[in-house]
Structure 1
C-alpha cells in the first residue's frame, strides 16, 4: 500500500498575448514566447499536470483522482459536476493588460458541457510601481449602459480601476467584471474551469495577428450588476504562526501564513490541502518528521487528505487552500 506524501507537479504553461517571462524568477523553465499562465495543479481537458516527485512521478492528476479518489482527495475532493479535481491553481505573469472579462456561475445555461462556473481569487506576489487592476463596475451600471459603452468604445469609463501592491488579495465571485493589468504577478486559486467571457480587449491583435474573439452577449447575461460579493484586503497584518483568512466561499478557503519557526499542522479527511510558497524557503516535513522536502518561492504542493500531521519550517510566506 502506498503511503500518501506531498505531491509536486510539472506545470502546464500557456502562451498568452499578455504574457512575459517573469515565471522564470521562480526557477521554472517555461517554453519560449510570452508565457502568461503556469497551471501548477490542474485536472482539466485543456491542461493536466503530472507528478514530478516520489513513487507516483509521471502520473497525471486525473490518474491520481481515478486511482485514489476521496481517500487521498478527501470526502469533498472530487467535483460532483464533471467528476474532476475541483480547483485549478495558477501563477500568472501579466506583462500586458488582460482582456476585460467576466466568468459565469455553475448554473449558467450557456456553459460548455461538463464545465464548471468560475469563482476565483488572486494573491498579488509582485507588482511594479503604479500597477493596477480592473475590479468591478461603477455604481449604476446596467445592461443597457454597458452595451452602449461597448458600442461607442467608452467601456473603460464604467470600470473601477484599483492600484495594487504585493500582498494584496482579491476575491472574484462569478459575475464580477475584472482584469489583471500590466506589471502584476499573481497566484490564482479558482474553480476548475477554463470558461472566460471577454467584454473588451483593447482592439489589439492576438498571437495569430487577428483580433481575439469577444463574448458580448454571454458577458452581458452573466454580469452581476449589483455586485456578486467581491472583497479585497491588504495582508500586511499577517502574523507568524497564525493563518489569516483571505477568502472563503462554497468552492474554497484560502489563508495566508508566515513561517518563522517550525509550524505543526494537519490535513483533514474532508479535503486535500494546497500550499503555494509565495516568498522565502524552508522545509515541508511529514511522517513524524522522518520525510521532508525542501521548498522555495513558486513551489506548489498538493497534500493528500490522508497525509495527516505535517510541518513547515524556515522563513517563508505561504498560501493554504482547501475545500470548506
Structure 2
C-alpha cells in the first residue's frame, strides 16, 4: 500500500505580457518579470509540477501518474495513456488578456496530442470597476463576427460583465472570453494549453512582435448559439457547507466556507483538488496534518479516505465527475 497524503506541488510560473506581481500576495516565489500564470498542479508538456512535500517530494505529477495511476487518481480521474485530467492555475491579470476562444475535444484542427479546453474561473480579487469579456451579444453569427474582426470592431460583438471577488464563471469550450485588468483568478480547466486568439488590442508580445491571431480557427470553434456558459454570485453560503459553482463533463467545482472542524472524505472514484481561496487553517488526515493558507493548492489522492479541514477559510473543491 502506497503511503498516501495530500500532495503540494512547486508552481510553474509563466511570464505573460498581461501579467504582474500580484501572486506574491500569496507568499509565492516569483521569478523576475511580468508573471501572469502560476501553474499550481500541472501535467502538461508546457509545464509539469513536482511534489514538494512528504515522501514523494521531487516526483513530477507525470511520474506520480505513471507510478500510482488509478490508485491515486481514482477510477474516473485516471485515463489510460492520458495525462492528469485537470490543470489548476492562479492568474494575475495586471492588464487585459487577449480576446480568445477554446475548441472542444473533437475539433479537427487541434494540435496533435492536445485536448479541447473547458474551464471555470473563481475571482479571488478584483479592483473597483474590474470586468471581463464573457460571450457574444445576442444575434451575433459567424458572418457578423468575421466582418467585425476584419474591420477591427470585434469589441462591438462582445458582452462585458463587471466582476467582484467571489464571482464564479463557467466557460465551456466555444465561449469567447477574456479576463481584463485588475483581477486575480483561480482557474480550474481541462488539461490543455490550446487557445485561439480572436483579437489582441494590436499590442506587441514579450518579444516586441505582434502576437499571432487565429481568426479562422476562432470562427470555426465559436458556439454562436451559446455553449452553456453560466455565472453566479457565491456569497450567502453558511459555514461547513458546499455550494456547487461549476459543473462540466470534466470537473465539478464547489465552494465551501470552513468555520469549524469539518470531517470530509475522498472516494475511490476521484482525487480531490483543494484550492485555498482565502484565510488560513489546517488540513489533517490519518497520519498527519499541516497548516494551509490562501493561494495553496493540494491534490488529495482518491485513496486518502478521511480528512478534516479546520480554521477560517474559503476553499474550492474539485473532482472529476
TM-score under structure 2 length normalisation: 0.99
Q: Indicate the RMSD between aligned Cα atoms, in angstroms.
A: 0.7
1:219 alignment partner in structure 2? 218
Cα distance in 2 for partners of 1:130, 1:79 equals: 42
Deviation, structure 1 residue 237? 1.4
Matches within 5 A, 1:130-141: 130-141=129-140
1:111 alignment partner in structure 2? 110
2:157 alignment partner in structure 1? 158
2:293 alignment partner in structure 1? 296
1:101 alignment partner in structure 2? 100
Matches within 5 A, 1:305-320: 305-320=302-317
Cα distance in 1 for partners of 2:82, 2:131 equals: 36
Cα distance in 1 for partners of 2:78, 2:5 equals: 19
Matches within 5 A, 1:132-211: 132-211=131-210
Cα distance in 2 for partners of 1:286, 1:192 equals: 27
Cα distance in 2 for partners of 1:78, 1:205 equals: 40
Cα distance in 2 for partners of 1:224, 1:237 equals: 32
Cα distance in 2 for partners of 1:320, 1:79 equals: 21
Deviation, structure 1 residue 78? 2.3
Are 1:23 and 2:20 matched, yes or no?
no
1:289-311: CA deviations, max 9, x gaps?
Answer: x4101100000000000000000
Cα distance in 1 for partners of 2:237, 2:217 equals: 39
1:34-65: CA deviations, max 9, x gaps?
Answer: 00000000000100000000000000000000
3-state DSSP of counterpart to 1:186: strand
Deviation, structure 1 residue 249? 1.1
1:261 alignment partner in structure 2? 260
With over 3 angstroms needed to count, the CA separation of the structure-2 counterparts of 1:79 and 1:102, relative to structure 1, is: farther
3-state DSSP of counterpart to 2:145: helix
Deviation, structure 1 residue 156? 0.2
2:59 alignment partner in structure 1? 59
1:322 alignment partner in structure 2? 319
Cα distance in 1 for partners of 2:79, 2:160 equals: 34
1:240 alignment partner in structure 2? 239
Deviation, structure 1 residue 150? 0.7
Cα distance in 1 for partners of 2:238, 2:212 equals: 44
3-state DSSP of counterpart to 1:55: coil
Runs of 4+ aligned residues of structure 1 deviating over 2 Å after TM superposition are none
- Where structure 1 has 5 or more consecutive residues not aligned to the other structure, the ranges are none
Deviation, structure 1 residue 101? 0.1
Cα distance in 2 for partners of 1:152, 1:244 equals: 43
3-state DSSP of counterpart to 2:55: helix
Cα distance in 2 for partners of 1:79, 1:100 equals: 32
Cα distance in 1 for partners of 2:45, 2:79 equals: 14
Deviation, structure 1 residue 114? 1.3
Deviation, structure 1 residue 79? 3.5
- Where structure 2 has 5 or more consecutive residues not aligned to the other structure, the ranges are none
1:78 alignment partner in structure 2? 78
Deviation, structure 1 residue 77? 1.6
Deviation, structure 1 residue 321? 0.2
Matches within 5 A, 1:35-46: 35-46=35-46
